[in-house]
Amino acid sequence: MSTEVYRDAWGIPHLRADSPHELAFAQGRNAAMDRAWQLEVERHRVGGTTAAFLGVEAVGWDRFARQARLEDTARRCFRSLDADTAAWVTAYVDGVNAGLAAGARRAPQFAATGLTPGHWRPWTPLGVWLSTHILFAGFPTKLWREEVARRLGDEAIELFATDGPGTSGSNGWLVAGDRTATGAALIAGDPHRFIEDPGVYQQIHLACPEYDVVGLAVPGVPGLAHFGHTGTVAWAITNAMADYQDLYQERLRRGAGADEVEALGPDGWRPATRHVETIEVANGDPVQVEIIETERGPVIVGGPETTEGPDGTADPEGAGRAISLRYPPRVRGELGFGALPALLRARTVADVDRAFDQWAEPVNVVQAADTEGGLLHRVAGAVPLRHRDNRLRAVPAWQPGHEWQGWHEPPREPVDGYAVMANQRGLAGPLGVEFAPPHRAARIGELLAASADWSAGDMAAIHTDTHLASARRLLDLLGEVSGLGPDAARLRDRLLRWDRRMDADSTDAAAYAAVRSAVVRRLAAHPDLSALADPAAFAYPYPHVFWPWLALLPRVAFALETLLTTELLPGIDRAEAARSALEEVAAEQAAAGSDAAPVTWGELHRLAPWQALPDEPAEEWPGLSGDHDCVLSTMSVPGATDLSARGPAARYVWDLARREDSLWVVPFGASGVPGDAHHRDQLPLWVRGGLAPVITDWNHLIEERHDD
């Protein structure tokens, strides 16, 4: 097998091989060498076996992964692949297995946990993709809406609707050639995810006689699913915020045999599948998990012995209560992996469009452009046709009318000058319920409209814009508050003069964030919302893996604009909440003394990445500009923490005039190995909003040799 591995100055891998399958093998081997620990954590997440080396705190995920049948679904999806795609994915897996042992020797986490590298199966990449995105569409929000409806009434079911504590998001924009300096299109943006160390995206260059592509790969998955540039066509995605996963209220009962369970459907009691699995736990006792699947889908909450109803009464027939999950890859046996090799071979927008016709999970908005002037703005992915109630809440499995009735035709629209998608209600509006507030999209559109001479280098100014339009409603409320003490009045007047930019060096931004958090805490503590404060008291014994979606404080924080104006909560005195928040923050500042240096936003708003094995305290991570409704979307949870766990997992600019003028950056670096020169060398660049050049000339690269 003839392959070559090169590196640029940032350690980014550039791989060249004689065929697509040899290249897939090289990509898999490179991922194992650079990201062995990350890959093995992901493989164990697929199978629900992370607790075996991470301990009891990982049991919650392992239980969900097994109950949701992630690995079995990955097998099912692999079996449905066409022969060529299956062979291509298998070549990637063979490369991972060939490099894992050497990669593990470089990664100290293996010795620290006692983990031994395992064996990847042909379907493992599909499982990695599925486990990465199973919570992407935020189906646990339907559990939250159920609790809101029970306590505040059905009319309040969308009261907290906003881009809440989910894992998804993105900015993306496409600028047509008539608005650029070169006359060729630009595509730019930044996917918002939980920031993980190592990062979820890997910059890479893949070349063979059939294609030569640069882009952002997901370690553990072959090809370039989300972001790529072949030289003649480029594409990028943002989350469409579509709703395509359903929850069903189930009634379950034990059958005559020890392993028999029945579920009540529209046609009566029907057999469900059932078996038991064991989760091994490092330094703990094994945990048994009952796996049940009804005709709707796998049971992820409750079971035959969960008999008490929401009002405290038992089911009249003695049936247990549960909730099952129905999601397209489990139903169709498809993830859309057939699109991956097709994208690598794409030469035009039409090729990209045809490739994404195969796409299933997750549902994205795709933007693409080519060197011939072609432009594309469309949705890609599988969204079922069904009753509107399915989108809003967990629907009764035993009532007819909640079945899936086919699939939506993905919407598309023409591009006039530029197109923006930042998770707002728009192109994908018919497919979803909750979307991001329009602030990011509106701000990007405002900035793009200001010029018709854009270049790739100009895009950084949009990536890093910190204007916080969502501050207006709270500031308007502060402006109406009366009866303030002198210190609080000065604070209020200072905030009303603030430029509304969440810059890391801004003391006004820090003061605004402090007042906002104080208001959020007051609203969340109000008796009108107190019944939503404790997930442990909700109608079902919801697993802890869903608690981020069921926590009141984040819900209040991200729905603050709505809660400050809604008429659904007449008992809440917003003006008093604002007044007392100003007094609280002013008193804290006065207590610090006049000699104390004012706190900046960056001192509070520090990066807090997720790590399977944390290695640094929060105070050692850098401070950040931005906020969750800024274009520079670095998300914290007002009222709970100013630390930022979610933000741009990469930034990119694809230039269709000259690919070598394209730019990119990731939060950490090309290597996932602690201590490696390229482990975190891009972090300073990412923090200040810089971008590294995309190198495609092999003469400017250094060849890498391996002796193992």
Q: What is the CATH number of the domain that holds 666?
A: 3.60.20.10
Q: Could you read off the pLDDT of 414-428 as tens digits, one per residue?
A: 999 999 999 999 899
Averaged pLDDT, 606-615: 89
What's the pLDDT band for 158 if we cut at 50, 70, 90?
confident
Q: Could you read off the pLDDT of 167-210 as tens digits, one per residue?
A: 457 999 999 999 999 999 999 999 999 999 999 999 999 999 99
What is the average pLDDT score of the chain?
94
pLDDT value of position 315: 77
**Do 442 and 354 share a structural domain?**
yes
**Do 195 and 68 share a structural domain?**
no
- Any domain includes 702: no
> What does the angle CA 161 – CA 327 – CA 137 come to, to the nearest 5 degrees?
30
Across 317-331, 341-355, 424-438, the highest mean pLDDT is recorded for: 341-355
Is residue 537 within 8 A of residue 134, CB to CB? The reply is: no
Q: Could you read off the pLDDT of 454-467 as tens digits, one per residue?
A: 999 999 999 999 99
In angstroms, rounded to a whole number, what is the distance separating the alpha carbons of residues 464 and 689?
Answer: 6
Query: For a pLDDT cut of 90, what percent of the chain falls above it?
Result: 88
**Do 113 and 64 share a structural domain?**
yes
Say if residue 408 is exposed, middle or buried (CB neighbours under 10 Å; 0-12, 13-18, 19+). Answer: middle
pLDDT value of position 636: 95
**Do 145 and 36 share a structural domain?**
no
Q: Within 13 Å, how many C-alpha atoms sit on residue 635's CB side?
A: 24
pLDDT value of position 159: 87
Query: What predicted TM-score, i.e. pTM, was given to this entire model?
Result: 0.95
**Do 425 and 377 share a structural domain?**
yes
pLDDT value of position 168: 55
- Any domain includes 706: no
What's the pLDDT band for 163 if we cut at 50, 70, 90?
very low
Element (H, E) at 189: strand 186-194
Q: Where is the domain boundary, 301, 326, 351?
A: 326
- Any domain includes 79: yes
**Do 189 and 130 share a structural domain?**
no
**Do 349 and 219 share a structural domain?**
yes
- Any domain includes 98: yes
- Any domain includes 675: yes
Instruction: Check whether 311 has a pLDDT greater than 70.
Output: no
The residue ranking higher by pLDDT, 137 or 619, is 137
Q: What SS3 class is residue 273?
A: strand
**Do 471 and 595 share a structural domain?**
yes
pLDDT value of position 167: 47
Is residue 633 within 8 A of residue 648, CB to CB? The reply is: yes
Is residue 185 within 8 A of residue 656, CB to CB? The reply is: yes
Using alpha carbons, list the distances in angstroms from residue 118 to 12, 87, 110, 115, 496.
26, 21, 11, 9, 58
pLDDT value of position 603: 97
CATH of the domain at 133: 1.10.439.10
Residues contacting 573, CB < 8 A, separation 6+: none
Averaged pLDDT, 216-233: 97
pLDDT value of position 164: 44
- Any domain includes 611: no
Across 311-325, 508-522, 528-542, the highest mean pLDDT is recorded for: 508-522
CATH of the domain at 322: 2.30.120.10
Query: For a pLDDT cut of 70, what percent of the chain falls above it?
Result: 97
**Do 348 and 233 share a structural domain?**
yes
> What does the angle CA 306 – CA 133 – CA 563 come to, to the nearest 5 degrees?
70
Q: Could you read off the pLDDT of 39-88 as tens digits, one per residue?
A: 999 999 999 999 999 999 999 999 999 999 999 999 999 999 999 999 99
Residue range of the domain that includes 107: 3-137
**Do 250 and 229 share a structural domain?**
no
pLDDT value of position 539: 84
The residue ranking higher by pLDDT, 507 or 425, is 507
- Any domain includes 315: yes
Instruction: Check whether 554 has a pLDDT greater than 50.
Output: yes
pLDDT value of position 136: 87
**Do 595 and 482 share a structural domain?**
yes
Handedness of CA 69, 75, 79, 83 (dihedral sign): positive
**Do 472 and 457 share a structural domain?**
no
> How many domains is the chain built from?
4
- Any domain includes 610: no
Residue type, 283: N
